[in-house]
């Protein structure tokens, strides 16, 4: 696909004045938060001079400004390999690590810069940001969300009905590395079940881990309780290893689920996630399923997802094989508000067929 260029074309023989003019255009676009225009100027310059660490540093900063922090880290690491002693690159890398939440790595980067030049420009800004991150400011509300879902159901015996669900929840930063999420989900079928949920996420360098728990008082079709744990770990620049474990108690017995998986970045905007879904049911033994998810887009940008799955699904009537297809769209409707809409079709063996739609609205609070 051709890329529209802004400004004069770059070449290997570009004069210093022409280069300076192009970089002025980049700075102007960056100041206006027009990161796409800045990227369009830089990419042909980098194509002409792929070993230029300063151009890679500038592109990394542009990608970070656009919210593409994983890609920004890849670009700044490329620059650091070409110019390991360049303090401008080292400082940019420290900021990118900080923005990604890799605070320990960012601190190490700041310490290394301080050892070489404690008065290096803008180093004090990075150190101040890290000091604020380390200061115990108490619990901070991170986000709140509302979800509504509607389903058209046809049971195995041909009976039709409408199900609906509502959820409300909030996420709280307990510290720089720990987030607590609480939610309440009400689902109405022929009866009403209300699930109370809690989850704590802990961020690590290159990944995260979590523990979770749910409880359903007097359940009709959901679990009585469940506990879970899992996480993700970056195995390489493009591969993330995933694991989820869950133990749930239903009226028919206790079920364990183990879901290992991988998420692979195919390119800048596409990622595919595959999971194996293993169910261990004391009454019916072991069952295996799986899911595949394709994502287009990045966090806090317009994004699409597609999911196909076939797996053993546990409810109060036991474990049944479920096949599903789903698609969704995430939209940033305002600076701090995100909207997600999704539709799905499910076919649960000897149980029901479902056509469902879901709408979710999320508000992110500003960082203090």
**Per-residue pLDDT at 335:** 76
pLDDT > 70? residue 1? no
pLDDT mean over 60-74: 89
92 and 200, same domain (yes or no): no
**Per-residue pLDDT at 14:** 66
264 and 346, same domain (yes or no): yes
Number of domain units in the chain: 2
89 and 148, same domain (yes or no): no
Would residue 98 count as lying in a domain?
yes
340 and 213, same domain (yes or no): yes
The CA distances from residue 40 to 2, 73, 77, 204, 300, in Å, are 11, 19, 21, 34, 21
**Per-residue pLDDT at 138:** 67
CA distance 149 to 247: 25
Which residue has better confidence, 35 or 298?
35
**Per-residue pLDDT at 6:** 36
Mean pLDDT of the chain: 87
pLDDT mean over 296-315: 83
Each residue's pLDDT tens digit, 138-192: 688 989 999 999 999 998 888 899 999 999 999 998 887 889 999 999 999 889 9
CA distance 3 to 19: 19
Would residue 153 count as lying in a domain?
yes
Residue 227, domain extent:
140-364
217 and 265, same domain (yes or no): yes
Res. 5 pLDDT band, cuts 50 70 90: very low
181 and 305, same domain (yes or no): yes
pLDDT > 60? residue 25? yes
Q: What are residue 166's DSSP bridge partners?
A: 148, 186
**Per-residue pLDDT at 177:** 81
156 and 276, same domain (yes or no): yes
106 and 152, same domain (yes or no): no
pLDDT mean over 119-124: 86
CA distance 39 to 195: 46
pLDDT > 50? residue 126? yes
Would residue 173 count as lying in a domain?
yes
152 and 184, same domain (yes or no): yes
CA distance 313 to 222: 11
């Amino acid at each position: 696909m051709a890329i529209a260029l802004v400004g004069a074309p770059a070449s290997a023989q570009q004069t210093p004045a022409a280069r300076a003019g192009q970089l002025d255009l980049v700075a102007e676009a960056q100041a206006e938060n027009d990161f796409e225009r800045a990227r369009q100027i830089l990419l042909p310059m980098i194509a002409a001079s792929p070993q230029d660490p300063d151009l890679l540093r500038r592109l990394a900063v542009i990608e970070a400004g656009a919210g593409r922090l994983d890609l920004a880290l890849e670009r700044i690491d490329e620059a650091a390999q070409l110019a390991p002693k360049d303090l401008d690159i080292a400082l940019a890398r420290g900021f990118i690590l900080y923005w990604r939440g890799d605070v320990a790595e960012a601190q190490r980067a700041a310490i290394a810069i301080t050892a070489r030049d404690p008065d290096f420009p803008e180093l004090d800004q990075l150190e101040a940001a890290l000091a604020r991150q380390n200061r115990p400011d108490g619990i901070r509300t991170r986000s709140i969300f509302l979800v509504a879902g509607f389903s058209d159901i046809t049971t195995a015996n041909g009976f039709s009905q409408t199900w609906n669900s509502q959820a409300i929840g909030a996420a709280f930063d307990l510290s720089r590395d720990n987030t607590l999420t609480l939610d309440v989900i009400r689902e109405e079928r022929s009866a009403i079940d209300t699930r109370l949920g809690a989850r704590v996420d802990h961020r690590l360098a290159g990944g995260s881990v979590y523990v979770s728990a749910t409880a359903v008082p007097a359940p009709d079709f959901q679990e009585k309780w469940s506990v879970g744990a899992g996480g993700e770990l970056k195995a390489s620049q493009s591969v993330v290893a995933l694991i989820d474990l869950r133990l749930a108690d239903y009226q028919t017995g206790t079920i364990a689920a183990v879901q290992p998986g991988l998420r692979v970045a195919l390119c800048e905007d596409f990622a595919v996630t595959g999971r194996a879904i293993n169910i261990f049911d004391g009454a019916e033994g072991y069952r295996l399923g799986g899911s595949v998810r394709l994502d287009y887009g990045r966090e806090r940008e317009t994004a699409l997802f597609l999911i196909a799955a076939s797996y053993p699904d546990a409810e109060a009537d036991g474990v049944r094989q479920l096949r599903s297809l789903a698609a969704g769209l995430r939209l940033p409707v305002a600076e701090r508000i995100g909207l997600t809409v999704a539709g799905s079709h499910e076919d649960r063996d000897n149980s029901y067929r479902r056509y469902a739609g879901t709408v979710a609205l999320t508000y992110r609070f500003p960082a203090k």
